[in-house]
C-alpha cells in the first residue's frame, strides 16, 4: 500500500520533470535538443540544456525541500499553520539579500556562491542561531518559546527591511521586491550545485528523524518512554529544516504556499506517518513548484511572472477544493 | 576527548562544510567551455553587428549614433526613437528574458549601471558586455562617447555629446540672467492624496537639470536619490514653483484634480502665484540624449517670462 502510493507520487514527479522543460516562451524541437548533445551549438539546444533543464531541476528540488521542511515543522510545533518561513529564517535571509542589493560594495562571486546567496545564507544562519539560543532554557528547549522567538525575529527582520526600504534608492527597491516574490530563473548548473551542500544534509537530518517525529507527534511522554531524546530531535529538526530552507531561500527567494499546503495535501491523501509523508511531500512539492514555474515563465512572455504569485493563485484554490471535497466524505 | 553528544547534527554540519568545499572545486567543471569576455578600455574589438540595448537610455543613445540597424534586441519601454519599437524586446530592464537574449545571438550587450544577474549571465555565456553609468549629466555624455568608441562611431558620438553640452550651456546662460526660484519637483501623486510624495535628491540628473534651468531644488539636502518627503517639510521650505513630472500622460480633467490638491497648501508661494506645472512626457524621466529638451521644459516652467519674451 505504502509503496504503491509512493509510486504514484514518483510517477507524477517524473512526468512533470520530463514534460516541463519542453514548455516555455519559445518552442524547441527534440531534434535541436539532440543535436546540441552531438556538439551542434545552436541557441535552441543551448536554451534547453542551460536554461530550462537546470531551472526545472531547481524547481523540483526547491519545491520538494520546502514541502519536506513544512511537513516536519508542522509536526515539531504541533501547529498546522507553520511553514518554513514562519520562523524568521526567511526574514534573516531577506535582510541579508536586501543588504547585498542595496550596497554594491558587498558584491562578489566565489565559484558557485554569488554575493546575494552568501548574504542570504548568512542572514538565515544568524536568525537560526539566535532563535535557537533564545529558546534554550535549563529545562530544555520549549517549542512555544521557539515559535515565539522565531516570530519575533521575523518581526525584527521585517523592521530592518522597512528601514532599508526607506533609505534605499528606487532601483534597488524594485530589485528587492522582485526577489521577495520568488523566482527560479537561475543560470546554468553552477548555482544549483551551490545550494546542494546546505540542502542535502539538512533534508537528510529531517529524514533521519522521521520515526522519532512520529513518536513525538503522538505524545511526547510516550516518545520519551520509547527512548526518543525529544530535546535532541527538536533541535536537530529545527536546524536541519533551517539549513534546507536557507539554501532554498538564498537562491529562489521566499516562495510561499508550497511548504504550507503540500504537507496538508499529502497528509489528507496518504495518512500521517512521516516516513511516508516526507518522501511524498518532496515528490508532490517538487512537481507542484515545477508546474507553477512552467506557468510563470510562459504566460507573460517576454517577461516572466514571479513564481510566488502563481503558487498562491493556483495553490490556494486547489487547496480549498481539497478541503471542501474532504469535508463531505 | 570530549564525546560528541549529538552525532546526527554534528554529521550534518560536517557534511555542509565538506559539501561546500567539494562544490566550490567542482564548479569550474560544470561551467561551459566559454570563457569570460568583457570589454575593457582601449582593447581592440571586433566590429559589432548584433547588439542588445538593456535599457531605454541605451537604446536612445545607440540609435542616435546611427547604429540602430545593428541592434537586435531592446529592453521594454524603449519607445524612442520610433524605429526602436520594431526591434525585438528582451523584457524589462531588471528582469530581462534570458532565453530571448540567447536566441538573438548577440555579440554585445550594453547595460546601464551594474546588473549582477545580466553580468553573470553574459559572462557565463561568453557574450561581451559593456556597462555604462547614466545617472548624471556628465555620465550621459561620457557614456555616449564610450558607446561611440565601441561601435566605431566616434565622430557621431563626439558630435552628439558636444551638441548636448552646447544646448545645456546656452540654456544655463539664459537662465542665469534671473534670480533662481526655489523648486519642488514631485514625481507624481494620485488625486486626493498628497501622502508619500517623492522628489529628487541631489544625486540625479533631474536635480542637475533643475539647477541648470534656473531653479534651486529645495530638497537637494534630502538623503537618498529619490526620497519620500513629508508635507510639513514641503510647507516649511516654501517653494516658488511646483513641478510634477508624470511619465504617463494625464487628461486635463485629472490635471484639475491634481492642481486642486496643491491648492490646499495655500501658504506656498508657488500656489499663491499659480506656478504649478505638470510635465507629462515619457522622456522626461529618461536620462538620455533628450536631456536638453527636458531642461528646456523645466526652464519654461520655472521662468516662463524668459520664454515669452522670445515669442513677442
For B51-163, the fitting CATH number among 3.30.360.10, 3.40.50.300, 3.40.50.1980, 3.40.50.9100 is 3.40.50.1980
Q: What is the mean pLDDT of residues A293-317?
A: 81
| CB-CB neighbours of B263 under 10 Å | 12
Helix axes A190-208, B7-30, angle to 10 degrees: 160
CB-based contact, A8 to chain B, within 8 Å? no
Q: CA A201 to CA A21: how far, in whole Å?
A: 27
Task: Provide the pLDDT for residue A141.
Answer: 75
For B66-131, the DSSP string reads: T-GGGEEEE-TT--SSGGGGGSPB-B-SSSB-HHHHHHT--SEEEEES--HHHHHHHHHHT--EEE
Chain B residue nearest residue A237, CA to CA: B9
Q: CA B186 to CA B181: how far, in whole Å?
A: 16
The C-alpha of A236 sits at a distance from chain B's nearest C-alpha, in angstroms, of 6
The answer on pLDDT for B309 being more than 70 is no
The C-alpha of A294 sits at a distance from chain B's nearest C-alpha, in angstroms, of 14
Q: Do A50 and B94 touch (CB under 8 A)?
A: no
The C-alpha of A324 sits at a distance from chain B's nearest C-alpha, in angstroms, of 38
With 0.90 as the threshold, say if the pTM is over it.
no
pLDDT band for position B311 (50/70/90)?
very low
Q: Considering only CB atoms, which chain B residues are within 8 Å of A110? A: 24
The C-alpha of A213 sits at a distance from chain B's nearest C-alpha, in angstroms, of 14
SS3 B235: helix
For A2-327, the fitting CATH number among 3.30.70.1520, 1.10.3470.10, 2.40.50.140, 1.10.287.3510 is 1.10.3470.10
- Residue given cell 516658488 in the structure block: B240
Mean pLDDT (chain B) is 84
Task: Provide the pLDDT for residue B24.
Answer: 83
Domains B51-163 and B178-311 share a fold: yes
For chain B, what are the domain ranges?
A: 51-163, 178-311
CB-based contact, A309 to chain B, within 8 Å? no
DSSP state for residue B7 in the 8-state scheme: H
DSSP state for residue A82 in the 8-state scheme: -
How crowded is the C-beta side of B55, counted as CA atoms within 13 Å? 25
Taking a contact as any Cβ pair under 8 Å apart, which residues of chain A between 145 and 204 contact chain B? Answer: 166-171, 174-175, 178, 183, 185, 187-190, 193-194, 196-198, 200-202, 204
DSSP state for residue B181 in the 8-state scheme: E
**Cell (9 digits) for A211:** 520515526
Please write the tens of the pLDDT for every residue from A85-144.
888 888 898 898 888 877 766 766 676 777 788 888 899 989 988 988 888 877 777 888
Task: Provide the pLDDT for residue B36.
Answer: 37
State the greatest distance between any 2 C-alpha atoms of chain B, in Å, as a whole number: 97
| CB-CB neighbours of B36 under 10 Å | 11
Better pLDDT: B167 or B41: B167
- Cα A281 to Cα A19, A63, B161, B285: the distances in Å are 20, 9, 60, 49
The answer on pLDDT for B188 being more than 90 is no
Please write the tens of the pLDDT for every residue from A42-93.
777 877 888 889 889 999 999 999 999 999 999 988 888 888 888 888 889 8
Task: Provide the pLDDT for residue B215.
Answer: 94
Q: Which range, of A156-170, A307-321, B72-86, B243-257, averages the lowest pLDDT?
A: B243-257
- Specify which of A305-319, B102-116, B293-307 reaches the highest per-range mean pLDDT: B293-307
Helices (H) and strands (E) in chain A, counts: 15, 2
Q: Considering only CB atoms, which chain A residues are within 8 Å of B89? A: 302
| CB-CB neighbours of B232 under 10 Å | 8
SS3 A103: coil
CB-based contact, A17 to chain B, within 8 Å? no
ipTM of the complex: 0.72
Task: Provide the pLDDT for residue B38.
Answer: 44
Q: Do A200 and B19 touch (CB under 8 A)?
A: yes
Task: Provide the pLDDT for residue B32.
Answer: 46
Better pLDDT: B7 or A305: B7
For B178-311, the fitting CATH number among 3.10.110.10, 3.40.50.720, 3.40.50.1980, 3.40.50.300 is 3.40.50.1980
- Specify which of A24-33, B152-161, B264-273 reaches the highest per-range mean pLDDT: B152-161
- Specify which of A136-145, A289-298, A312-321, B115-124 reaches the highest per-range mean pLDDT: A289-298
Amino acid at each position: 500500500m505504502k509503496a504503491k502510493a509512493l509510486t504514484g507520487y514518483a510517477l507524477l514527479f517524473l512526468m512533470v520533470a520530463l514534460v516541463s522543460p519542453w514548455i516555455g516562451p519559445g518552442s524547441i524541437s527534440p531534434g535541436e535538443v539532440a543535436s546540441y548533445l552531438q556538439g551542434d551549438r545552436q541557441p535552441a539546444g543551448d536554451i534547453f540544456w542551460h536554461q530550462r533543464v537546470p531551472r526545472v531541476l531547481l524547481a523540483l528540488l526547491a519545491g520538494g525541500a520546502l514541502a519536506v521542511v513544512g511537513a516536519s515543522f508542522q509536526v515539531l510545533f504541533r501547529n498546522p499553520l507553520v511553514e518554513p518561513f514562519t520562523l524568521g529564517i526567511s526574514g534573516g535571509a531577506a535582510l541579508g539579500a536586501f543588504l547585498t542589493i542595496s550596497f554594491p560594495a558587498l558584491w562578489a562571486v566565489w565559484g558557485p556562491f554569488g554575493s546575494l546567496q552568501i548574504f542570504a545564507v548568512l542572514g538565515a544562519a544568524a536568525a537560526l542561531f539566535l532563535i535557537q539560543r533564545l529558546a534554550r532554557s535549563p529545562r530544555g528547549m520549549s517549542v512555544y518559546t521557539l515559535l515565539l522567538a522565531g516570530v519575533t525575529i521575523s518581526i525584527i527582520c521585517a523592521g530592518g527591511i522597512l528601514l532599508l526600504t526607506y533609505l534605499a534608492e528606487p532601483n534597488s527597491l524594485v530589485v528587492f521586491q522582485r526577489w521577495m516574490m520568488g523566482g527560479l530563473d537561475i543560470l546554468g548548473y553552477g548555482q544549483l550545485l551551490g545550494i546542494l551542500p546546505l540542502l542535502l544534509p539538512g533534508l537528510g537530518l529531517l529524514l533521519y528523524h522521521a520515526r522519532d517525529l512520529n513518536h513525538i507527534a503522538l505524545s511526547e511522554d510516550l516518545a520519551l518512554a520509547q527512548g526518543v531524546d525529544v530535546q535532541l530531535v527538536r533541535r536537530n529538526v529545527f536546524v536541519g529544516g533551517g539549513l534546507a530552507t536557507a539554501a532554498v531561500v538564498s537562491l529562489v527567494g521566499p516562495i510561499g504556499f508550497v511548504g504550507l499546503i503540500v504537507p496538508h495535501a499529502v497528509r489528507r491523501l496518504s495518512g500521517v506517518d512521516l516516513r511516508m509523508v516526507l518522501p511524498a511531500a518532496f515528490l508532490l512539492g517538487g512537481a507542484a513548484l515545477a508546474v507553477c514555474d512552467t506557468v510563470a515563465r510562459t504566460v507573460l512572455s517576454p517577461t516572466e511572472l514571479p513564481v510566488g504569485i502563481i503558487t498562491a493563485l493556483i495553490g490556494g484554490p486547489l487547496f480549498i477544493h481539497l478541503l471542501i471535497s474532504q469535508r463531505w466524505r | 576527548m570530549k564525546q560528541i553528544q549529538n552525532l546526527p547534527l554534528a554529521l550534518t554540519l560536517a557534511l555542509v562544510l565538506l559539501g561546500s568545499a567539494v562544490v566550490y572545486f567542482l564548479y569550474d567543471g560544470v561551467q561551459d567551455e566559454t570563457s569570460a569576455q568583457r570589454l575593457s578600455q582601449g582593447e581592440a574589438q571586433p566590429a559589432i553587428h548584433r547588439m542588445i540595448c538593456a535599457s531605454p537610455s541605451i537604446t536612445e543613445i545607440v540609435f542616435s549614433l546611427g547604429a540602430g540597424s545593428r541592434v537586435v534586441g531592446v529592453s521594454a519601454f524603449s519607445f524612442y526613437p520610433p524605429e526602436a519599437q520594431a526591434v525585438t524586446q528582451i523584457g524589462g530592464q531588471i528582469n530581462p528574458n534570458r532565453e530571448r537574449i540567447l536566441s538573438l545571438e548577440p555579440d554585445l550587450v550594453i547595460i546601464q549601471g551594474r546588473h549582477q544577474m545580466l553580468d553573470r549571465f553574459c559572462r557565463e555565456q561568453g557574450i561581451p558586455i559593456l556597462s555604462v553609468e547614466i545617472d548624471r549629466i556628465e555620465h550621459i555624455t561620457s557614456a555616449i562617447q564610450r558607446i561611440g568608441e565601441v561601435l566605431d562611431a566616434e565622430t557621431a558620438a563626439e558630435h552628439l555629446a558636444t551638441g548636448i553640452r552646447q544646448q545645456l550651456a546656452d540654456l544655463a546662460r539664459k537662465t542665469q540672467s534671473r534670480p533662481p526660484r526655489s523648486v519642488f519637483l514631485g514625481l507624481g501623486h494620485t488625486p486626493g492624496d498628497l501622502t508619500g510624495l517623492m522628489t529628487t535628491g541631489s544625486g540625479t540628473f533631474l536635480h542637475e537639470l533643475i539647477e541648470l534651468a534656473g531653479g534651486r531644488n529645495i530638497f537637494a539636502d534630502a538623503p537618498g536619490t529619490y526620497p519620500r518627503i513629508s508635507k510639513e517639510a514641503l510647507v516649511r521650505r516654501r517653494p516658488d514653483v511646483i513641478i510634477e513630472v508624470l511619465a504617463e500622460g494625464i487628461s486635463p480633467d485629472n490635471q484639475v484634480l491634481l492642481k486642486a490638491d496643491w491648492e490646499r497648501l495655500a501658504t506656498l508661494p508657488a500656489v499663491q502665484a499659480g506656478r504649478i506645472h505638470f510635465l507629462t512626457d515619457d522622456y522626461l524621466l529618461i536620462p538620455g540624449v533628450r536631456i536638453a529638451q527636458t531642461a528646456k521644459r523645466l526652464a519654461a516652467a520655472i521662468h516662463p517670462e524668459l520664454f515669452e519674451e522670445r515669442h513677442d
